Amino acid sequence: MFEADKSEVDKPEAGQQPIPAQLQRLRNTFAGRLCDRLSELEHAWDKVRGSHWQQEALAHFRLLAHSLAGAAATFGFQSLGEIARTLDLSLQAVLDNGAEHTLDEAARQRVGSHFSRLRQAAQSIATAGCADAAAERALDTASDLVTRFHNRVFIVDDDEQVAHELARQIGFFGYDVTVFIDLNGFQAAMASAHPAAIIMDIRFPDGPFAGCEVMEAIRSQRGFDVPVIFISEHSGLEARVKAVRAGGEAYFNKPLDLPRLVYLLDTFTSRRRQQPYHVLIVDDDPLVAEHHATILEGAGFTTLVVNDPTAVTLALEDFYPEIILMDLYMPGISGPELAKVIHQQEMYVSVPIIFLSMEDDRDRQLATIRVAGDDFLTKPIQPEHLVSVVSSRAQRYRTLRYYMERDGLTGALNHTRVLDRLASEVARAQRDGTSLVFAMLDLDHFKQVNDSWGHHAGDNVLQSLARMLKQRLRKSDVIGRYGGEEFALILPNTEVEAAFAVLDDIRRSFAEVRFRHDESCFQVTFSCGLVALDDFPDAGRLAMSADEALYEAKQAGRNRVVRIRSR
Amino acid sequence: MNTLQRILYVEDDPDIQAIAQWVLEDMGGFNVRICSSGEEALTVAPVFVPHLILLDVMMPGMDGLATFRALRTLPGLQGVPVVFMTARVQSHEVDDYRQQGATGVISKPFDPMTLADQVRMLWKEHCHV
């Protein structure tokens, strides 16, 4: 157990040999960025405490503590490293402890006290380090290696009111925003911080194009690649040209078109990993099937092996294959027959099916494909060949399916697909004995938005809501556009109280978003009805009751979330 | 083939990346390529053709072991020595990693002043086996 003792706060220890200047500089960079690490940790800890999905939050918090433990000691901050390590170990203990993965009161206090010790130690190093880094502000080799924080955005605008209002609005979409109202403060921060994007005003008291000039200077100094969005009151050609020369990615006139700005930020920061392709392997020979599965898993695919061809329908229910590899000859049913069975199901009408066989007569192969299936691979297959055929087919299918299943405006699933997903998620939840929540969500007085501001404005509202839902919900949640201004959400593995809290929070945030149209500005709210699978144990009743709950929310005055239970 | 030149380092922490790149390049004289994730390593490794791979064990997404297994399936990378970097250094775990085919384990936090030497020693060991 550590005692809280300020004297313990460490300075880099010199050791016997002199520290090379370069190492010192890297240390300073590390110290300077401790502020960022600490705020990431704070954020993660908040999530752990306030989260309804505690396990994910805990794992994330732990990962941050773990990497700080490794880094701190490497840079010579031994006792900070040890404190972080203690935190890491205490979190690991919680995570390893049974299936619950939740913090009980004792564990919360233990972790909390480790974290406050860590905070103290990190802050005192950071304060010294930031000053150093700002003073140095020189080229440092670390800067170009640094990966950006996904959701960190800097706003630089000398109009304080505009800047803070913009920060608030962007904050609703899940961005972590820092505002600078003068260029000096911004430049000092850039010496050690690495935002995902910068929103920069053009005119400052320092000069009519000072914003562009500062960015140009930073860029030439450190070959710098943070995307910059320039904003300005003027739309003059000179300002635009300067913005382009300063490496601006976009130019917005004030008042800002917020949905478009957020869309752009999303594209800059969406370096989120693509989900791996799902490959279903059907082969009655377990060894062959495993062999192919191993090759594909190794190349980053997610695979499911089915040895009994009659079990394929079951696998289709919740694996959602994006490509199927199938043995040509299996007991009881032939590959082409099974392929037809699969393609007869509406959800899998066009999923690519590739046959594997020893058959190497191309004519006979083609004859088979003519009946059913998409391609033919001859065993034994070169691993690279298998990977390349599977990935190109799966990729094409995913793209195709995206257009078939998604609503073009919002990217949400379309009505039919939501219902399909609801049926299969319900089946899965019932099989696994897990909870599930279904919600329906409808914009209030949306017709008025279209009537008074036009359809373009209405589309903006729909897109913004979809984007906010995507930002705030988990990857495993399903977002669908149910009708004109109606959305449906499937939240698997979720308790209804947690869902209520999250949706109500989104409701409040969305109500505060200001949409601009020409010179004026409006806000839109939504109503939401919410039901749990526990109360309505099948997909049909779930959908119907969610609709009733939504109706109740509207009746009760809109802009609210209503849950109904079985009566 | 006995000289160690190209090192692929897979590590998600930008600070560690920076210091490792510097010590391995400037103090060790190696040619270092950094990857921030296992996924990235899988695309870079076949092109970079490293002589040795340093792999952080705990990374978000694909972790060190998964990356290791995946790398082993790629053509041309089956025989490349892989060294794990990990905070857990109990001896049975080191044995575990070795059993799985790792050449060695470097414990984290590492000492930047000796990292290049540690790597060179593991390389020598590998060549003599």
Query: Each residue of A288-346: pLDDT tens digit?
Result: 888 888 888 887 889 999 998 888 888 887 788 999 999 888 888 888 889 988 888 87
Asked if pLDDT for residue A5 goes beyond 80, the answer is: no
A335-343 helix and A362-371 helix, angle to the nearest 10 degrees: 30
pLDDT digits (tens, 9 = 90+) for A205-242: 999 999 999 998 888 776 666 889 999 987 788 888 88
| C-beta atoms of B73 and A26 within 8 A | no
Q: Are B76 and B51 in contact (CB under 8 A)?
A: no
Residue A128 reports pLDDT greater than 80 = no
Structure tokens at A260: 């478009």
Query: Averaged over A93-111, what is the pLDDT?
Result: 75
Total domains present in chain B: 1
CATH number of A415-563: 3.30.70.270
What are the CA-CA distances from residue A18 to residues A14, A22, A328, A501, B113 (Å)? Answer: 7, 11, 69, 56, 11
In this complex, which of B26, B34, B69 lies closest to A145 when CB atoms are compared?
Answer: B34
Does residue B57 sit within a domain?
yes
Closest CA to B55 of B24, B76, B86: B86
Residue A438's φ and ψ, nearest 5 degrees, are -120, 135
Does position A172 have pLDDT exceeding 60, yes or no? yes
Residues of A in contact with B61 (CB under 8 A): 273
Residue A132 has pLDDT above 80, yes or no: no
Specify whether the backbone of A332 is left (phi greater than 0), alpha (psi in -120 to 50) or beta.
Answer: left
Q: How many Cα atoms occupy the beta-carbon half-sphere of A272 within 13 Å?
A: 8
Q: Which of A193-197, A456-460, A480-484 has the lowest mean pLDDT?
A: A193-197
In percent, the amount of chain A with pLDDT more than 70 equals: 88
Q: Report the sign of the C-alpha dihedral through residues A421, A427, A433, A437, in that order.
A: positive
Q: Which CATH superfamily is domain A278-405 in?
A: Response regulator (3.40.50.2300)
N-to-C CA span, chain A: 54
Locate the chain B residue with the closest alpha carbon to A292.
Answer: B73
Give the A window 291-320 contacts with B, CB below 8 Å.
294-295, 297-300
Return the CATH number of A6-136, one of 1.20.120.160, 3.40.50.12160, 1.10.150.120, 3.30.450.20.
1.20.120.160
**Gap from B72 CA to chain A (nearest CA, Å):** 8
Report how far residue B103's alpha carbon sits from residue B53's, in angstroms, rounded to the nearest whole number: 10
Q: Which residue has the higher pLDDT, A489 or A347?
A: A489
Superfamily (CATH H level) for A152-269: Response regulator (3.40.50.2300)
Task: Please report which confidence band the pLDDT of residue A138 belongs to, taking 50, 70 and 90 as the band edges.
Answer: very low
**CATH number reported for the structural domain that contains residue B46 in this entry:** 3.40.50.2300
Average pLDDT on A423-452 reads 93
Q: How many CB pairs under 8 A join A and B?
A: 90
Q: Is residue B1 part of a domain?
A: no
Question: What is the pLDDT, as a whole number, of residue A130?
Answer: 45
User: A420: closest CA among A428, A408, A431, A430?
Assistant: A428
CA distance B13 to chain A (A): 7
Q: Domain boundaries in chain A?
A: 6-136, 152-269, 278-405, 415-563
C-alpha closest to that of B52 among B26, B27, B33, B75: B33
Q: How far is CA A379 from CA A117, A375, A421, A548, B41, in A?
A: 60, 13, 35, 56, 29
pLDDT bucket at A140, cuts 50 / 70 / 90: very low
Structural domain of residue B56, as residue ranges?
A: 6-128
- What average pLDDT does this structure show over B110-121? 88
Band (pLDDT 50/70/90 cuts) for residue A2 is very low
pLDDT band with cut points at 50, 70 and 90 for residue A280: very high
Among A47-51, A107-111, A492-496, B42-46, the least confident range = A47-51
Cross-chain Cβ contact A383/B42 below 8 Å: no
Distance between CA A18 and CA A26 in Å, rounded? 15
Q: Give how far Cα A312 sits from Cα of A323, A333, A334, Å.
A: 13, 12, 13
Is residue A449 within 8 A of residue A457, CB to CB? The reply is: yes
Identical topology for domains A152-269 and A415-563: no
Is the pLDDT assigned to residue A538 strictly greater than 80? yes
Question: Cβ distance B55 to B78 under 8 Å?
Answer: no
Dihedral angle, C-alpha A99, A101, A107, A109, nearest 10 ° = -160
Query: Which pLDDT belongs to residue A278?
Result: 92
Tokens of A130: 């930031």
Classify residue A361 by burial, with Cβ atoms within 10 Å: 0-12, 13-18, 19+.
Answer: exposed
